[in-house]
Amino acid sequence: MADKSVGTESFATETQEKVERKLRWAIVGCGGIATTHLNAIAKIPEIEVVGGCDIKPERLQLMRDKYGMTATYEKWDDLLADLKPDVIDVCTPNGVHMPATVAALNAGCHVITEKPMAMTPAECQMMIDAAKANNKKLAVGFQFRYHPKTEFLVRAREAGDIGDIMFVKCQALRRRGIPNWGVFGQKALQGGGPMIDIGVHIMESAHYGIGSPKPVAASGNIWTYIGDKPSEVLSHWPNWDWKTFTVEDLAIGQIRFENGAIMQVESSFSAHIEKDVFNFQVMGTKGGYNWETNTLFTDHAGCMVNSQAAWLPSTEFGELFVRKLKNFASGCLNNTPLRAPGEAGLAVQKMIDGIYRSAEAGKEVTID
């Protein structure tokens, strides 16, 4: 059975309510992704940024100089005690998502955390439990749920155009795209490589698009063969820290769902392929869908028909952040549905964890 709590609400819901006050919003982790959040927040009048936290003084200086953030802290406990914000926006490396989120929830804040939700399913569950115990909202920053192409698939599925979904193929592949900033190559801080960093995006949007069925088993493997060595090959992100690179270059996995459907996942930082790919394809009993080309495949009037939307809203990357943060703000202020609640993050985390566990065990593993 699909998880009905994870998303078939009206896509316009978060824009329909009027608010009488602003959310006092603070950011924990003021690195690169936080600037994307701040640029999006500037377009959301319901949000007032009141402060930020980071362990690097230079990032806090940037927040003060460029974004006018007057209250900055190196410890989130100090921020929580001094500012008492309504919302904490967690933009730290993956390994810090859980402790920062639980601390904020226990301090009485709503929390939205960047993807992936945490390092393990157990950490995700701790976050969900803390949200319930404190009666606070918890969401995960899965912006591709708000992509018009994903929304088109949801509408087509709900209209019966797809039928019973049998198979979905997810690809988040880079030919040579190892991040040369941050800690993306350090397993202890990130939990993994491309599968948990970029594979998570295509997996979560596909899982949402097909109705969020329950995952029950996983199989897969991972390989490291480029990132842990110096390289003189020309690429747009050269000179990554190969000495601390402890994650995979390539991850391949398969998820089996309770309803019998299969999800295949391919994700890479480095792979000998023709070009980068970010796409998923769906096959159902009545129709199929290609996310990248926004094409619905059906039979109609005695013919095989390929259909595309004549018009879709903007797909500019920053606009997706506006949509996801606006959805969360509306949920906090108006109690409207969250499109990516903590339970959605847990389901995706279980799939990623299952593939990594299968790679280590050398066999299929069950997902509880």
Predicted confidence (pLDDT) per residue in 239-287, tens digit: 999 999 999 999 999 999 999 999 999 999 999 999 999 999 999 999 9
Indicate if 309 and 325 belong to the same structural domain. Answer: no
Instruction: Write down the mean pLDDT value for the chain.
Output: 94
| Domain annotation covers residue 124 | yes
For residue range 37-60, what is the model confidence (pLDDT) as tens digits?
999 999 999 999 999 999 999 999
Shared domain check, 30 and 129: yes
- What lies within 8 Å, CB to CB, of 105 at 6+ separation is 111, 127, 130, 131, 133, 134, 136, 138
Q: What is the pLDDT of residue 139?
A: 98
Query: 182 and 123: one domain?
Result: no
How is residue 210 written in tokens?
Answer: 């097909």
Same domain (yes/no): 302, 167: yes
| Residue 17, pLDDT above cutoff 80 | no
Residues 280 and 157: beta-carbon distance below 8 Å: no
Residue 308 has pLDDT above 50, yes or no: yes
Q: Which pLDDT band, with edges at 50, 70 and 90, does 231 fall under?
A: very high
At residue 364, does pLDDT exceed 50? yes
Instruction: Quick: pLDDT tens for 216-227.
Output: 999 999 999 999
Mark whether 75 and 217 lie in a shared domain.
no
Residue pointed to by tokens 């480029």: 226
**Which residues lie closer than 8 Å to 301 by C-beta, 6 or more apart?**
none
Is residue 6 situated within a structural domain?
no
315 pLDDT band (50/70/90 cuts)?
Answer: confident
Q: What is the reported pLDDT for 87?
A: 98
The answer to whether residues 198 and 246 belong to one domain is yes
The dihedral sign for the CA sequence 74, 333, 17, 154: positive
Q: What is the pLDDT of residue 144?
A: 97
Residues 199 and 113 reside in one and the same domain: no
342 belongs to a structural domain: no
User: In the structure, what pLDDT confidence band is assigned to residue 3 with cuts at 50, 70 and 90?
Assistant: very low
Residues 161 and 50 placed together within one structural domain of the fold: no
Is 299 a member of any domain?
yes
What is the structure's pLDDT at 316? Answer: 87
What is the distance in angstroms between the CA of the first residue and the CA of the last residue of the chain? 15
Domain count for the chain = 2
Cα→Cα distances 329→84, 138, 293, Å:
17, 11, 31
Identify the residue with better confidence: 308 or 1. 308
Q: What is the dihedral of CA 265, 269, 272, 278, to 10 degrees?
A: 50
Residue 199 maps to which CATH number? 3.30.360.10
Tell whether 190 and 298 lie within a shared domain.
yes
Report whether pLDDT(311) > 80.
yes
- How far apart (Å, rounded) are the C-alpha atoms in residues 189 and 124? 16
pTM: 0.92
Q: Are residues 203 and 307 in the same domain?
A: yes
- Answer yes or no: is 100 within a domain: yes
| Any domain includes 105 | yes
Average pLDDT over residues 116-125: 98
Model confidence pLDDT, tens digit, residues 342-353: 999 999 999 999
Which pLDDT band holds residue 330 (cuts at 50, 70, 90)? very high
CATH for 32: 3.40.50.720
Question: Quick one: tokens of 302?
Answer: 């005695």
- Does residue 2 belong to any structural domain of this protein? no
Same-domain status, 131 and 157: no
Q: Determine the pLDDT at residue 41.
A: 98
- Per-residue model confidence as pLDDT tens digits over 129-186: 999 999 999 999 999 999 999 999 999 999 999 999 999 999 999 999 999 999 999 9
Q: Helix, strand or coil for residue 81?
A: helix
Q: Does one domain contain both 138 and 228?
A: no
Cis peptide leading into residue 179 (ω within 30°): no
Phi, psi at residue 255, to the nearest 5°? -115, 135
Residue owning tokens 């802290």: 73
Q: pLDDT band at 15, cuts 50/70/90?
A: very low
Tell me the average pLDDT across 297-322. 94
CA-closest candidate to residue 193, choices 202, 204, 185, 182: 185
Domain around 191? 148-314+348-366
Q: What is the pLDDT of residue 20?
A: 64
Instruction: Give the pLDDT mean for 180-193.
Output: 96
Confidence at 18, pLDDT banded by 50, 70, 90? low
Residue 275 included in any domain: yes
